[in-house]
Amino acid sequence: MVLTARNLEKAKLAAAELGSQVMAAELEVSDLLSAKALAHDLEKKFKKVDVLINNAGIIGNKPATAFDLLEIKQVFETNFFGIITTTKALMPLLQKSPEGRIINLSSGMGAWADLTGGYAGYRLSKTALNAFTVLLANELATTGIKVNAMCPGWVKTEMGGASAPRSVSQGADTAVWLATEKQIPTGKFFRDRKPINW
């Protein structure tokens, strides 16, 4: 297992907490050269990638009526374009797996029914990520690579804050399930291992 972060030292600390089987690597998701360097290292060490979990994300809290293009662009750079960049770099290694899987960490805040206001950059980036998930799943349907999105819920992380009701393990459960379950669908959106509406 490989855990990545923009800061290699932080990645190493997080990996150490998870055990000796977890390797740390540096990755800036919005930088294609960084993603290609990661792909090169993974190919040398493992030859293939079985599961890609796209978990990078930042939040923007301004409403759509603020029309803050800078904030929206910054959020999209990580939450949307960063996912595309990383997936592009690792796709050749996923294609070497007998059943590659791509899991995109999205949010219910990007679901059509929940576009109620606030956090415009974040909501729009997750809506776009959901659409990308469906599109990629359909285009890869004949390859054996399965692509799904999931909502971890409001989780106690640096971004979620201490008042969030869900633990990190609760938030990660669906991703682990999608990564390890023998038979899974493709092109779906999940929360707590159950399909939810886009």
Instruction: Give me the average pLDDT of each 10-residue run along the chain (198 residues).
Output: 95 92 96 98 97 96 98 98 98 97 97 96 98 98 97 85 87 97 97 97
- Domain presence at residue 109: yes
- What's the structural domain count of the chain? 1
What is the spatial distance between Cα 134 and Cα 123, in angstroms, rounded to a whole number?
A: 17
What is the spatial distance between Cα 148 and Cα 19, in angstroms, rounded to a whole number?
A: 27
pLDDT at 173: 96
pLDDT at 157: 83
What CATH number is given to the structural domain containing 57? 3.40.50.720
Question: Sheet holding 194-195: strands in order across?
Answer: 51-54, 101-105, 146-150, 189-191, 194-195
What is the spatial distance between Cα 40 and Cα 195, in angstroms, rounded to a whole number?
A: 34
pLDDT at 11: 94
- Domain presence at residue 8: no
- Domain presence at residue 10: no
- Domain presence at residue 5: no
- Domain presence at residue 54: yes
pLDDT at 161: 82
pLDDT at 110: 97
CB atoms within 10 A of CB 44: 8
Catalytic residues: 122
What is the spatial distance between Cα 66 and Cα 39, in angstroms, rounded to a whole number?
A: 38
Tokens describing residue 81: 């374009």
Q: Which domain holds residue 178?
A: 49-195
Quick one: CA torsion of 61, 64, 66, 68, rounded to 10 degrees? Answer: 70
pLDDT at 163: 86
- Domain presence at residue 6: no
